[in-house]
Amino acid sequence: MAIEDIRLITVGSRTVRVATGGAPHSTRTLLVFNGIGASVESLASFMAAFESTRVLTFDVPGVGASPAPRLPYRMREVARLAAGVLDAHGIARADVFGVSWGGAAAQEFAISYGLRCRTLTLAATNAGMVAVPGNVAVLLRLLSPRRYLDPAYLLRVGGKLYGGLLRTERELLRIHGDALRGPSQRGYLYQLLATLGWTSWHRLHRIKAPTLVLMGRDDPIVPPVNGRILAAGLRRATVEMIDCGHLFILTRPREIAQRVERFLADATASEPSTVQRLGHEPGLADPGDLA
């Protein structure tokens, strides 16, 4: 199955919808931060492509079935929430994957919870305010969640928004649209606000985990040069270009999953033979509260 289990859990005072897939009995867990407005269903084909890794993801507040908070939040609170999701599953340390908006959240997690991040994979993302912006017309369309709520609109504009294979593969866009459980207007707005003024650039050097940066060559939203910018600030980064657009984890799920699993295996092989089992850093187990 693509997604083995979807359930609601309590993290602090929040209700969070989480999903697991991939290889459910694996001792290795990949924690995935999804893109803006995208529910866990949008990751089904990607999760199914993992053969030796358990995949864990969740709907951020206001997306899918995770209730929207009363007040806006910042990226550090998304990272704190993710730490609470790991706590709820008894996972002290995970491999971390972030795509697009979720790439910013993944960076924030790796900075704030370094001991809990074994490796980091960043897909189609950037370092925030220092990023090279994408196509202005495309970015203006992203201010609205309409593409998640109106399937006909997604089919009409999706190719221009996402680039790559989706410029011509309308059936993939239809499948993507059918799988989505759209965000609330407030939830989408809060995700936008979470990135306002945010940047990781001056803190990237604090990420000690080996990092794989994957960028689409034809990405109208996040130009591929942003991968080089990220790598310049990271300690241990490898940048690879994918011959597709922004949603290459949708158009090429098996290829990307296999590449990520090779990266995870290489990281395991390069670790010391004896690794102390990590507990929680002081104060990090508390998932906090999103207002």
In terms of residue numbers, what domain contains 134? Answer: 3-268
pLDDT at 175 (0 to 100) = 86
Sign of CA dihedral 2, 263, 172, 61: positive
What global pTM score does this model have? 0.92
Closest residue by Cα to residue 223 from 106, 120, 126? 126
Structure tokens at 30: 């990949």
Q: Quick check: is 102 in a domain?
A: yes
Q: Quick check: is 287 in a domain?
A: no
Q: Quick check: is 288 in a domain?
A: no
CATH number, domain of 40, equals 3.40.50.1820
Count the helix, strand and coil residues of the chain and give each as a percent rounded to the nearest 5: 40, 20, 40
pLDDT at 257 (0 to 100) = 98
Q: Quick check: is 290 in a domain?
A: no
Cβ pair 216, 100 in contact under 8 A: no
pLDDT at 290 (0 to 100) = 52
42 is catalytic: no
Structure tokens at 173: 């866009």
Query: What is the number of domains present in the chain?
Result: 1
Q: Which of 42, 66, 100, 200 is catalytic?
A: 100
CA–CA separation, 58 vs 17, rounded Å?
6
Residues pairing with 215 in the sheet: 241
DSSP 153: H
Per-run averaged pLDDT (10 residues), the chain, 291 residues: 83 96 94 96 95 97 95 97 98 98 98 98 97 96 93 94 94 85 90 97 98 98 98 97 97 97 93 49 42 47
